[in-house]
């Protein structure tokens, strides 16, 4: 058991730079590694990615393990799973962290199986238990209605971590670290899928996951026209527009705007829930918001049980005057 050491972050690269989730994980991982008096390392897999390694050091890593291969250019389950597992069996981290995103959700459980260990998904807080030195992994359960903290007895202790629940360190290019390059043999015949096309979705304005303010609408908005008003408010507050499942299913807004259990998980400073009943599956995606403001004509709507501020009434009457007030403040 003693051969397992340190905290390792699975690094992701977006447009030639460390992705924001990786920077945040390095910040959180640094705290855990310091508590254990052990090293923090970062795995970088891809094609021609070694140039990003110094960035991982600048954001807190002591060691960066780089694996480069043309077959690793794009994330693919069949290439990444065996390659990452092979390296993990060499470096034996005590704690292994992934982002709670498409890659983390796909890769981490497969690795946990191969490494014969456990995995806590969608963690929102990680700490070291002072007595056992095991990782305390806190995650929402029952659609976000309760939190549970679990500890895993097998190593590595693996977790996927929700965006924005950890903070990145301030970049320090004077930090020193070690870069170690590994080679893996990838057998292309094991790859069962092929990327045939990439379609980049045009999404003007701020990304939902990064927005400090989100104006979300539910079934009660009634159609695309209503969402245009929500967009107006979001623009004024420099935020983004989100939705519950019914507006996405009805085609009023794209599915990428869905927030909730089967949609995006967001943690903005301010979340407007307009004509949203507050079903647990929706709350699972927004309960981490610092402040929730609800508008609903039903005073018994569950959303009022979680909202910090609420207005009971028809959003068609409340929202236009609210927007006018925001404009008034903005012009002062
Ligand atoms: C496995 C599973 C996964 C799911 N995943 C998700 C998910 O990821 N995200 C998600 O959102 N849902 C999800 N759902 C669906 C979820 O259970 C709810 O059905 C959905 O969140 C309800 O959306 P809503 O609040 O917009 O609609 P409703 O529950 O119909 O509520 C509409 C609300 O609008 C109010 N209203 C109507 N007109 C007005 C008006 N003029 N002014 C003010 N208020 C008004 C009503 O009082 C009501 O409270 C999932 C369900 C399942 C089973």
Last residue of one domain, picked from the residues 190, 224, 242: 190
Pocket test for ligand 1, best of 247, 252, 259, 261 (most atoms within 8 A of CB): 261
Q: Are residues 255 and 317 in the same domain?
A: yes
> Would you state the pLDDT for residue 78?
95
> Would you state the pLDDT for residue 204?
67
Q: Are residues 165 and 258 in the same domain?
A: no
CA of 326 to the centre of ligand 1 (A): 26
CA of 184 to the centre of ligand 1 (A): 48
Token duo for residue 14: 């977006």
Spatial separation of the C-alpha atoms in residues 218 and 273, rounded to whole Å = 8
Q: What is the DSSP letter of 130?
A: T
Pick the closest to residue 163 from 106, 127, 122 (CA basis).
122
Inter-residue contact 271 to 291 (CB < 8 Å) = yes
> Would you state the pLDDT for residue 142?
79
Q: What does the pLDDT look like over 45-82, one tens digit per residue?
A: 999 999 999 999 999 999 999 999 999 999 999 999 99
Q: What is the DSSP letter of 81?
A: H
Residues facing 295 on adjacent strands: 274, 311
Q: Which atom of ligand 1 is nearest to the CA of 218?
A: 26
Last residue of one domain, picked from the residues 130, 164, 190: 190
CA of 230 to the centre of ligand 1 (A): 16
Q: What is the DSSP letter of 302?
A: T
CA of 209 to the centre of ligand 1 (A): 20
Residue 42 has phi, psi (to 5 degrees) of: -135, 135
**What is the domain count for the chain?**
2
Q: Which atom of ligand 1 is nearest to the CA of 298?
A: 47
> Would you state the pLDDT for residue 205?
73
Q: Are residues 50 and 154 in the same domain?
A: yes
Q: Are residues 172 and 293 in the same domain?
A: no
Confirm whether 201 is domain-assigned.
Answer: no
H or E stretch including 24? Answer: helix 20-36
CA of 224 to the centre of ligand 1 (A): 16
Pick the closest to residue 186 from 118, 97, 284, 84 (CA basis).
84
Sequential pLDDT tens for the chain (332 residues): 459 999 999 999 998 999 999 999 999 999 999 999 999 999 999 999 999 999 999 999 999 999 999 999 999 999 999 999 999 999 999 999 999 999 999 999 999 999 999 999 999 999 999 999 999 999 988 766 788 999 999 999 999 998 888 999 999 999 999 999 999 999 888 888 888 888 776 666 788 888 999 999 999 999 999 999 999 999 999 999 999 999 999 999 999 999 998 888 888 999 999 999 999 889 988 988 999 999 999 999 999 999 999 999 999 999 999 999 999 987 66
Query: What length is written for the chain?
Result: 332
CA of 276 to the centre of ligand 1 (A): 5
CA of 249 to the centre of ligand 1 (A): 11
* Closest residue CA from atom 38 of ligand 1: 220
Confirm whether 198 is domain-assigned.
Answer: no
> Would you state the pLDDT for residue 198?
81
Full domain range(s) for residue 267 = 208-331
End-to-end CA gap in the chain: 63
> Would you state the pLDDT for residue 226?
96
Token duo for residue 61: 């890593």
Pick the closest to residue 273 from 238, 233, 224 (CA basis).
233
> Would you state the pLDDT for residue 332?
66
* Closest residue CA from atom 39 of ligand 1: 220
Confirm whether 203 is domain-assigned.
Answer: no
Confirm whether 200 is domain-assigned.
Answer: no
* Closest residue CA from atom 52 of ligand 1: 281
Q: What is the DSSP letter of 214?
A: E
- Calculate helix-pair angle for 77-91, 102-114, nearest 10 degrees: 50
Inter-residue contact 124 to 164 (CB < 8 Å) = no
Residues facing 263 on adjacent strands: none
Q: Are residues 312 and 172 in the same domain?
A: no
* Closest residue CA from atom 47 of ligand 1: 298
> Would you state the pLDDT for residue 155?
97
Confirm whether 318 is domain-assigned.
Answer: yes
Q: Which atom of ligand 1 is nearest to the CA of 260?
A: 8
Q: Provide the edge-to-edge strand list for the sheet that holds 309-312.
A: 240-243, 213-217, 270-274, 291-296, 309-312
> Would you state the pLDDT for residue 83?
97
pTM, rounded to two decimals: 0.76
Spatial separation of the C-alpha atoms in residues 160 and 263, rounded to whole Å = 17
> Would you state the pLDDT for residue 201?
67
Q: How many CA atoms lie within 13 Å of 73's alpha carbon, on the beta-carbon side? A: 5
Q: Are residues 14 and 146 in the same domain?
A: yes
* Closest residue CA from atom 18 of ligand 1: 279
Q: What CATH number is associated with residue 321?
A: 3.40.50.1220
**C-alpha distances in Å from residue 243, one per residue of 37, 119, 209, 314, 315:** 44, 30, 13, 18, 15
CA of 142 to the centre of ligand 1 (A): 17
Which residues surround ligand 1 with Cβ inside 6 Å? 218-220, 244-246, 258, 260-263, 275-277, 279, 281-282, 285, 295-298, 301, 314-316
Q: Are residues 104 and 164 in the same domain?
A: yes
CA of 288 to the centre of ligand 1 (A): 18
């Amino acid at each position: 058991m003693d051969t397992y050491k340190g905290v390792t972050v699975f690094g992701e690269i977006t447009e030639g730079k460390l992705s924001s989730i990786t920077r945040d994980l390095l910040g959180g991982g640094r705290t855990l590694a310091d508590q254990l008096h052990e090293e923090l390392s970062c795995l970088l897999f891809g094609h021609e990615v070694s140039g990003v390694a110094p960035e991982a050091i600048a954001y807190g890593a002591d060691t960066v393990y780089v694996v480069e291969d043309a077959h690793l250019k794009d994330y693919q389950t069949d290439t990444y799973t065996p390659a990452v597992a092979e390296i993990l069996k060499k470096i034996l981290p005590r704690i292994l962290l992934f982002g709670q995103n498409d890659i983390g959700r796909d890769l981490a459980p497969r690795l946990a199986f191969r490494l014969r260990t456990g995995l806590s998904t969608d963690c929102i807080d990680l700490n070291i238990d002072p007595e056992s030195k095991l990782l305390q992994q806190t995650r929402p359960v029952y659609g976000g209605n309760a939190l549970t903290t679990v500890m895993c007895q097998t190593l590595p202790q693996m977790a996927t971590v929700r965006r924005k629940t950890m903070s990145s360190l301030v970049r320090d290019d004077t930090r020193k670290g070690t870069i170690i390059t590994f080679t893996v043999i990838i057998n292309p015949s094991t790859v069962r899928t092929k990327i045939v096309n990439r379609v980049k979705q045009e999404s003007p304005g701020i990304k939902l996951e990064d927005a400090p303010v989100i104006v979300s609408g539910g079934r009660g908005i009634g159609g695309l026209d209503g969402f245009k008003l929500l967009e107006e408010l979001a623009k004024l507050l420099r935020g983004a527009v989100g939705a519950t499942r019914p507006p996405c299913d009805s085609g009023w807004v794209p599915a990428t705007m869905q927030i909730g259990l089967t949609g995006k998980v967001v943690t903005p400073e301010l979340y407007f829930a307009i004509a949203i009943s507050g079903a647990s599956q929706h709350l699972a995606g927004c309960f981490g918001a610092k402040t929730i403001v609800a508008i609903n004509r039903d005073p018994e709507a569950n959303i009022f049980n979680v909202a910090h501020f609420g207005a009971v009434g028809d959003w068609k009457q409340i929202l236009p005057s609210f927007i006018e007030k925001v404009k008034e403040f903005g012009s002062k």
